[in-house]
Amino acid sequence: MASITQSVQEIISSLDGAMCSALVDSTSGMILGQAGSGIDLEIAAAGNTEVVRAKLKTMRGLGLNDVIEDILITLGKHYHIIRPLAKHEGLFLYVVLDKAKSNLALARRKISDIEALLTV
């Protein structure tokens, strides 16, 4: 079991190219824990809360009875991964990776592993 602080720091320290990570409450957009730097995580948390809400609304509208495993946003220089927590509805991990220095498949796997050990 790992705390919020340990979990977001583990993402930064164990993933090549990881710039920053945060645990976000998707009901309020508030950051519960964060590590790293490179972007304004307060703005990112609020904006990505809207991304999660929009996707969930679209899924309901389509009648999809499913869950979001993760949302990937690919930019020119970064990968942004949004991973809603399966065990803690309303929370998501947000990770920014340097695209040139990271391996997306390994990052997704590591984030999943860290999620499994996270205690809130």
Kindly report, residue by residue over 48-93, the tens digit of the pLDDT. 999 999 999 999 999 999 999 999 999 999 999 999 999 999 999 9
Give the pLDDT score at 31.
97
User: Hey, how many other C-beta atoms are within 10 angstroms of the C-beta on 107?
Assistant: 21
Kindly tell me if the per-residue pLDDT of 1 is higher than 80. Answer: no
Judge whether 97 and 117 are in contact, CB under 8 Å: no
Give the pLDDT score at 45.
96
Angle, alpha carbons 39-84-57 (nearest 5°): 100
Domains of the chain, earliest start first: 4-117 (3.30.450.30)
Average pLDDT over residues 9-24: 97
Identify which of 111, 120, 74 has the alpha carbon closest to the alpha carbon of residue 93.
111
Mean pLDDT of the chain: 96
